[in-house]
């Protein structure tokens, strides 16, 4: 058979192929079917095999991921372009293929070639093996636009799917690689494509941080509601709050809501809840008895504080309440005055019988705070009785005190009970008291009580209630996690916030000093000279309290000390001696930091920085109370944890206090998110976020260490 020259093959291909694209391979082959099957048969067969190889490549490209398709475009377009130098193009394609696929180009799956026996393949025929038909510019651009549209669509879909951090980093790397120059795409098309990709994947670092914090807060949130066992088992849920006989004055109800909002705005009161009662700016508008007004006047209480303006009307209206305000703002009167009014109303309607009651229950985390609340209740009830009102019996139930004194009052019928969780549970378990008629529950310093491990005790106490109750929670520091958990025990609650939860009092001047550990005790005497007595000194450890107390006594300072290791009588004598100004200095642990009221204290000294910034806020809150000014001095050194110092730094900035240079130099990665909100939603610290909360990490580490450990003391694990 005569051989066909390369010129004839080239003429054959130029005539039949130029007007056809990649999709017209079959029509091209069909049009040449009628030609003689002589010398042109080999060229025709080679053209078909080449088009099959191109189709195989296109199928492989379509099956790859979006990022791979985007990066393969240059190779594919170069492959489909008219041949300039076949040998040079073949080498370039092998290098690109080996770099992208990590496999040699010659090992790629190719359709088998069919050759005639005895035929000599010329050098021109070898060059034609790499031939690709020409595709018009219009057709190529159309295919490019279709692929670009598909890429944008897949990218938008992929951005909506949550990915791990490693996948996000990988995507960012691929995006950066793909944003180079593209020779086969116009600049306008590239700009449009990059703009769409940027908009689809545009999630700022702030949004990512907030979403991550929400997920962490949801994961650590308590799944079990803060309710009694019986209520959870029976699925009891109350939809409406308790109804009371109290109503605001008519002229207050007749005023517009804009007036109420203006009062709240002027007093910086933030409220949250449905149908919040209107604020009342005087005790007379609250319809309190004259005897109580006279008793408050004797203590120089003439007008309500911001928390009392909104809190007392809400409690008198029967609403469940979460009250958050800075230390010394008068939160105690918000729950003391309404419970006295409710108990007086019940006694006037039907006197309490023997062993009946209590009608109201107040739970405090420490014995000193419970004793202080009991004394305040006794003060106002005594003035009511002197004015001719019925006697209201109040019982104090705390540890370290004989229970017989409380039982004597309970035997007569009790109206109000003030207790600590441990002693109250003991009395309920022994059936010395019951909560059958109790309709009023208040938890003072609620966040500390729940966070200190009393959560299960609170659930147990709730299970003793026989009906719906009005629940009040008060604290100066209540992180978002505790608020969300506490709301599970409330019915349509009203949240009243005066200032940020956990903010320091603006009436306290905070002074932070760097003092070496060995020089602290000696430097105390110099700090005591800043203000006249009385002065409070706080320390973390009981040993430090005893050492400071002994040192001050040796130097002739009238000092007393309290901590958890002392008996109740000694603690009571120390607090009363300091409150009555018989002693000049009180040295204490955090037992005395929560809720105790020492109105004449002008100076608080922190011998060491507490591990929790909330304890620091409670400590310095013992001064600057009821509008007076106070001073707080804090010793820090290298032993103080950095995260605590960062929280302290931002607390000083928030209170517009002077930040010492050694504290101002501290910084962290999360400080760029300081403007997002109220700091860590788990512990309330301003210097870090929940993603780096050391308190949460410590709890999670403790839980992880307990996994797999067997409890050999439990009833179900005694089969070892």
- pLDDT tens digits, 258-298: 999 999 999 989 998 889 999 999 999 999 999 999 999 99
- The confidence band for 627, taking pLDDT boundaries of 50, 70 and 90, is confident
- The confidence band for 673, taking pLDDT boundaries of 50, 70 and 90, is low
Instruction: Confirm if 564 and 589 have CB atoms less than 8 A apart.
Output: yes
Q: How many CB atoms lie within 10 A of CB 199?
A: 11
Strand order in the sheet with 508-514: 508-514, 630-636, 603-606, 535-538, 585-588, 559-562
Strands (E), 387-457: 394-397, 416-419, 440-444
How much is the mean pLDDT over the chain? 77
Which of the pair, 381 or 329, is modelled with greater confidence?
Answer: 381
Cβ contacts of residue 551 below 8 Å, gap of 6+? 521, 524
3-state secondary structure of 339: helix
320 burial level (CB within 10 Å; 0-12, 13-18, 19+): buried
pLDDT above 80 (res 443): yes
* CATH 3.40.50.300 correct for 508-640: yes
pLDDT above 80 (res 470): yes
Across 53-57, 147-151, 578-582, 688-692, the highest mean pLDDT is recorded for 578-582
Average pLDDT of 87-114? 52
All structural domains of the chain with their residue ranges: 6-135, 141-202, 238-498, 508-640
Instruction: Confirm if 619 and 604 have CB atoms less than 8 A apart.
Output: yes
CA 485 distance to own-chain centroid: 12
- The confidence band for 104, taking pLDDT boundaries of 50, 70 and 90, is low
- Per-residue model confidence (pLDDT) at position 298: 92
Q: How many residues does the chain have?
A: 720
- The confidence band for 625, taking pLDDT boundaries of 50, 70 and 90, is confident
Instruction: Confirm if 314 and 276 have CB atoms less than 8 A apart.
Output: yes
Q: How many helices (H) and strands (E) does the chain have?
A: 29, 14
Paired strand residues for 562:
588
Could you give the CA distance from residue 393 to residue 258 in angstroms, rounded to a whole number? 42
Average pLDDT of 437-441? 94
Distances (CA, A) of 95 to 89, 100, 608: 10, 9, 68
pTM of the model: 0.66
Range of lowest pLDDT (108-112, 430-434, 457-461, 493-497): 108-112
Average pLDDT of 597-621? 88
pLDDT above 50 (res 23): no
- Per-residue model confidence (pLDDT) at position 666: 73
pLDDT above 60 (res 180): no
- The confidence band for 719, taking pLDDT boundaries of 50, 70 and 90, is very low
pLDDT above 80 (res 73): no
C-beta pairs of 111-117 under 8 Å, 24+ apart in sequence: 111/49, 111/52, 111/53, 111/56, 113/49, 114/45, 114/49, 116/42
Paired strand residues for 417:
361, 395
Distances (CA, A) of 328 to 15, 197, 250, 451, 484: 98, 55, 32, 22, 25
pLDDT above 70 (res 614): yes
Average pLDDT of 220-236? 70
Average pLDDT of 426-452? 87
Please confirm whether the linkage preceding 428 is cis (ω < 30° from 0).
no
Which of the pair, 485 or 255, is modelled with greater confidence?
Answer: 255
Return the CA Rg of the chain: 40
Paired strand residues for 585:
535, 559
Paired strand residues for 361:
417, 441
CA nearest neighbour of 109 among 180, 55, 70: 55
- Per-residue model confidence (pLDDT) at position 16: 41
Instruction: Confirm if 670 and 528 have CB atoms less than 8 A apart.
Output: no
Q: Domain 238-498 - what CATH class?
A: alpha beta
- The confidence band for 588, taking pLDDT boundaries of 50, 70 and 90, is very high
Average pLDDT of 233-260? 89
- The confidence band for 672, taking pLDDT boundaries of 50, 70 and 90, is low
- Per-residue model confidence (pLDDT) at position 33: 42
Range of lowest pLDDT (52-56, 368-372, 545-549): 52-56
Could you give the CA distance from residue 79 to residue 125 in angstroms, rounded to a whole number? 19
512 membership: H or E segment, kind and range: strand 508-514
- The runs of H, that is alpha helices, within 221-349 are 229-234, 250-253, 257-266, 290-298, 306-316, 331-349
Range of lowest pLDDT (20-29, 260-269, 372-381): 20-29
Across 203-212, 252-261, 496-505, the highest mean pLDDT is recorded for 252-261
Degrees (nearest 5) of the Cα angle 487, 476, 380?
95
* Cα-Cα-Cα-Cα dihedral sign, residues 69, 74, 75, 81: positive
Could you give the CA distance from residue 47 to residue 662 in angstroms, rounded to a whole number? 79
Q: How many CB atoms lie within 10 A of CB 32?
A: 20
626 burial level (CB within 10 Å; 0-12, 13-18, 19+): middle
Average pLDDT of 120-142? 67
Average pLDDT of 439-467? 82
Strand order in the sheet with 416-419: 269-272, 494-498, 321-325, 470-475, 440-444, 360-363, 416-419, 394-397
Could you give the CA distance from residue 277 to residue 321 in angstroms, rounded to a whole number? 12
Cβ contacts of residue 136 below 8 Å, gap of 6+? 21
Average pLDDT of 510-533? 91
Instruction: Confirm if 559 and 587 have CB atoms less than 8 A apart.
Output: yes
Instruction: Confirm if 337 and 292 have CB atoms less than 8 A apart.
Output: yes
pLDDT above 80 (res 400): yes
């Amino acid at each position: 058979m005569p051989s066909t020259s390369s010129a004839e093959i080239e003429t054959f291909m130029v005539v039949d192929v130029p007007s056809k694209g990649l999709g017209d391979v079959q029509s091209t082959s069909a049009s040449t079917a009628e030609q003689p099957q002589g010398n042109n048969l080999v060229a025709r067969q080679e053209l078909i095999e080449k088009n099959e190889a191109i189709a195989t490549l296109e199928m492989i490209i379509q099956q790859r991921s979006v990022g791979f398709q985007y990066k393969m475009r240059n190779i594919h377009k170069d492959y489909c372009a008219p041949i300039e130098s076949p040998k040079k193009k073949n080498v370039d394609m092998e290098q690109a293929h080996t770099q992208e696929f990590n496999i040699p180009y010659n090992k790629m799956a190719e359709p088998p070639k069919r050759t005639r026996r005895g035929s000599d393949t010329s050098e021109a025929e070898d060059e034609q093996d790499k031939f690709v038909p020409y595709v018009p510019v219009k057709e190529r651009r159309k295919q490019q636009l279709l692929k670009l549209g598909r890429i944008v669509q897949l990218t938008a879909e992929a951005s909506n799917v949550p990915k791990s951090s490693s996948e996000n980093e990988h995507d960012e790397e691929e995006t950066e690689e793909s944003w180079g120059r593209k020779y086969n795409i116009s600049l306008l098309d590239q700009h449009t494509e990059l703009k769409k990709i940027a908009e689809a994947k545009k999630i700022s670092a702030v949004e990512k941080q907030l979403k991550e914090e929400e997920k962490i807060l949801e994961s650590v949130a308590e799944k079990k509601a803060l309710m009694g066992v019986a209520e959870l088992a029976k699925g009891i849920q109350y939809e409406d709050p308790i109804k009371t006989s109290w109503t605001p004055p008519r002229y207050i109800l007749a005023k517009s809501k804009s007036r109420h909002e203006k009062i709240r705005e002027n007093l910086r009161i933030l409220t949250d809840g449905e149908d919040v009662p209107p604020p009342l700016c005087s005790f007379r508008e609250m319809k309190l008895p004259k005897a109580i007004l006279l008793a408050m006047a004797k203590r120089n209480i003439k007008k309500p504080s911001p928390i009392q303006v909104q809190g007392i009307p809400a409690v008198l209206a029967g609403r469940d309440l979460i009250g958050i305000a800075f230390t010394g703002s008068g939160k105690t009167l918000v729950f003391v005055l309404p419970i006295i009014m409710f108990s007086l109303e019940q006694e006037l309607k039907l006197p309490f019988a023997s062993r009946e009651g209590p009608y109201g229950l107040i739970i405090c985390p420490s014995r000193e705070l419970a004793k202080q609340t009991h004394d305040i209740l006794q003060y106002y009830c005594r003035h009511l009785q002197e004015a001719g009102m019925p006697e209201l019996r109040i019982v104090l139930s705390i540890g370290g005190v004989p229970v017989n004194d409380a039982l004597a009052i309970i035997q007569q019928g009790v109206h109000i009970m003030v207790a600590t969780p441990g002693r109250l549970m003991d009395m309920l378990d022994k059936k010395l008291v019951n909560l059958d008629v109790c309709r009023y529950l208040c938890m003072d310093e609620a966040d500390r009580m729940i966070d200190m491990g009393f959560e299960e005790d609170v659930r147990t106490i709730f299970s003793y209630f026989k009906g719906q109750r009005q629940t009040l929670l008060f604290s100066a520091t209540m992180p978002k996690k505790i608020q969300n958990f506490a709301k599970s025990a409330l019915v349509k609650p009203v949240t009243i916030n005066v200032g940020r939860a956990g903010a320091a009092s603006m009436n306290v001047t905070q002074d932070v000093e760097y003092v070496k550990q060995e020089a602290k005790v000696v430097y105390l005497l110099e700090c005591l000279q800043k203000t006249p007595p009385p002065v409070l000194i706080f320390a973390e450890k009981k040993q430090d309290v005893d050492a400071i107390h002994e040192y001050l006594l040796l130097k002739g300072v009238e000092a007393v000390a309290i901590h958890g290791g002392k008996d109740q009588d000694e603690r009571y004598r120390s607090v009363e001696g300091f409150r009555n100004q018989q002693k000049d200095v009180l040295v204490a642990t955090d037992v005395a930091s929560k809720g105790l009221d020492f109105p004449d204290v002008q100076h608080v000294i922190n011998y060491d920085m507490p591990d929790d910034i909330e304890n620091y806020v409670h400590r310095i809150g013992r001064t600057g109370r009821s509008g007076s000014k106070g001073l707080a001095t804090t010793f820090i050194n290298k032993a103080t944890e950095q995260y605590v110092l960062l929280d302290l730094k931002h607390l000083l900035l928030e209170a517009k206090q002077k930040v010492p240079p050694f504290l101002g130099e501290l910084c962290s990665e999360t400080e760029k998110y300081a403007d997002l909100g109220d700091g860590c939603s788990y512990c309330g610290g301003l210097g870090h976020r929940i993603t780096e909360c050391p308190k949460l990490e410590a709890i999670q580490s403790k839980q992880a260490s307990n996994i797999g450990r067997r409890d050999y003391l439990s009833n179900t694990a005694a089969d070892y």
